[in-house]
Amino acid sequence: MTSFDAPTLIATKRDGHRLPDAGIDWLIEGYTAGLVAEEQMSALLMAIYLRGMDAAETVRWTSAMIASGERMDFTDLRRDGKPLKTVDKHSTGGVGDKITLPLVAVVAACGAAVPSASGRGLGHTGGTLDKLESIAGFEVALSTARLREQLAGVGAAVFAAGALAPADAKLYALRDVTATVESLPLIASSVMSKKLAEGTAALVLDVKVGSGAFMRSAEQAGELAQMMVGLGAAHGVATRALLTEMSTPLGCAVGNAIEVAEALEVLAGGGPDDVVALTLRLAQEMLTLAGIDGVDPAQTLRDGTAMDRFTAMVAAQGGDLGVPLPVGACTETVTAQRGGVMGDIDAMAVALAAWRLGAGRSRPGERVQHGAGVRIHRRPGDPVAAGDTLFTLYTDTPERTAPALAELGGGYCVGDTPPQPRPLIIEATP
């Protein structure tokens, strides 16, 4: 057996060479076990950031990350004696992106099972687990046995990635403090290691593009999408990606409970057009990839079957939708100084405002305010009269209002002409 040492492997990458497969395994296993030191992994991450990794190297890096924990397997999942197809969606992170909530219910109502390992928000991005935890009693830590039972029964589960790809949790925290987050192979392997470990047979990626997203340009997002699709294929998971617009928040609600409320509106057959359209498009992609045809996802929103799946999922995870969702005790409104038409609303400005109000966290483990957030009353292109309420801000801590207003201030305008409409779906991978 070849033996490795960290300085030699760091030098290999520093000098622009390929890391040997067994060396990658050794590094990830050793780092997860605490045998490769933080400073050595820091140096290696910077070398990868500067030199990159080729496709095969990224596949091996991802495999090693998956192997650092449990890889779940739901291939034998059955309902009423028939095999159940598993399929999931992952978003690279957006503003007002509550799509997972209605989507898992729609796809479950169409006959698939959705094991959706999710994360928490950090910085300006919202986290699906934080949103769902604003429902009283909702539990995100599920054992594999409970998850399997819920998938076979309800058909959907949204749970904490927990023991999946533990190498990623360590590596992500280290990347965060060593300025090495923005490396495409490191992002792709981080996202895909968790999603491939969760045991889904098919995966649709929603790669966000725009001011509120990780990827600001469609070119960069396309490259990341191709890399992740390749990683899925290399690990036997049918994967497809959509590039979608994230310059403006999705829907009218940005926060935690406020986004759950909007997801419930969608499940009840209403809700903002863009949230409904993206939910249905992603649902269609997921069903196609899972080989389920002859069902209309839109019908599940009309006939209440998606809502039934959602309430069943919440109940199975200990949640009680009968308890009112929390709303921040202090509210502040922003009104229009003039009449006209609402222009573009900058997703990042709204995200930062919601974060300042307490909806997000600046350090892992920090508590979020479930009732904090921003409601958007006029969306881009809507007519505005002087004095109309444009935004409502919610928080439990009044001193957070002024910094939130400052973030929001430069993020919108009321003018004389409507903004250029932006297509919601920018591109789909073949």
Which residues are catalytic, by number? 90, 168, 175, 190, 194
Residue window 383-402: x/- pattern of binding to ligand URA, with contact defined by CB under 6 A: --------------------
Residue window 285-304: x/- pattern of binding to ligand URA, with contact defined by CB under 6 A: --------------------
CA atoms within 13 A on the CB side of 158: 31
Number of neighbours of residue 9 by Cβ within 10 angstroms: 22
Question: What's the CA gap between 362 and 377, in Å, rounded?
Answer: 27
Q: How far is the CB of 143 from ligand URA (least distance, A)?
A: 23
Residue window 184-223: x/- pattern of binding to ligand URA, with contact defined by CB under 6 A: ---x--xx--------------------------------
Give me the amino acid identity at 319: G
Name the strands in the sheet holding 330-335, side by side, starting at the edge strand that comes first in the sequence: 253-255, 373-376, 389-395, 330-335
**Cβ-defined contacts of 321-325 (< 8 Å, 24+):** 321/135, 321/264, 323/135, 323/136, 323/137, 325/134, 325/135, 325/257, 325/258, 325/260, 325/261, 325/370, 325/371
Q: How far is the CB of 163 from ligand URA (least distance, A)?
A: 15
Q: How far is the CB of 116 from ligand URA (least distance, A)?
A: 14
| Closest to ligand URA by CB, 161 or 267 | 161
Question: What's the CA gap between 412 and 402, in Å, rounded?
Answer: 17
Binding residues for ligand URA, total number by CB under 6 A? 4
**Angle made by CA atoms 126, 128, 134, in degrees to the nearest 5:** 95
Q: Which residue is nearest to ligand URA (CB)?
A: 190
Q: Does 267 bind ligand URA (CB under 6 A)?
A: no
Tell me how far CA of residue 374 lies from CA of 119, 133, 211, 377, 393, in angstroms.
21, 18, 17, 10, 5
Q: How far is the CB of 279 from ligand URA (least distance, A)?
A: 21
Q: How far is the CB of 168 from ligand URA (least distance, A)?
A: 7
As given in the structure block, the two tokens for residue 319 are: 């949640």
| Closest to ligand URA by CB, 190 or 248 | 190
Nearest Cα neighbor of 32 from 193, 140, 192 is 193
User: Crossing angle of helices 38-51/184-197, nearest 10°?
Assistant: 110
Q: How far is the CB of 199 from ligand URA (least distance, A)?
A: 17
| Closest to ligand URA by CB, 157 or 184 | 184
| Closest to ligand URA by CB, 42 or 311 | 42
Helix, strand, or coil here: 97? coil
| Closest to ligand URA by CB, 4 or 172 | 172
| Closest to ligand URA by CB, 77 or 187 | 187
Number of neighbours of residue 6 by Cβ within 10 angstroms: 20
Task: Show contacts with ligand URA in window 124-183 (CB under 6 A).
Answer: 172
| Closest to ligand URA by CB, 172 or 391 | 172
Nearest Cα neighbor of 351 from 311, 426, 413, 404 is 404
Q: How far is the CB of 222 from ligand URA (least distance, A)?
A: 16
Nearest Cα neighbor of 164 from 226, 115, 100 is 115
Binding site for ligand URA (CB under 6 A): 172, 187, 190-191
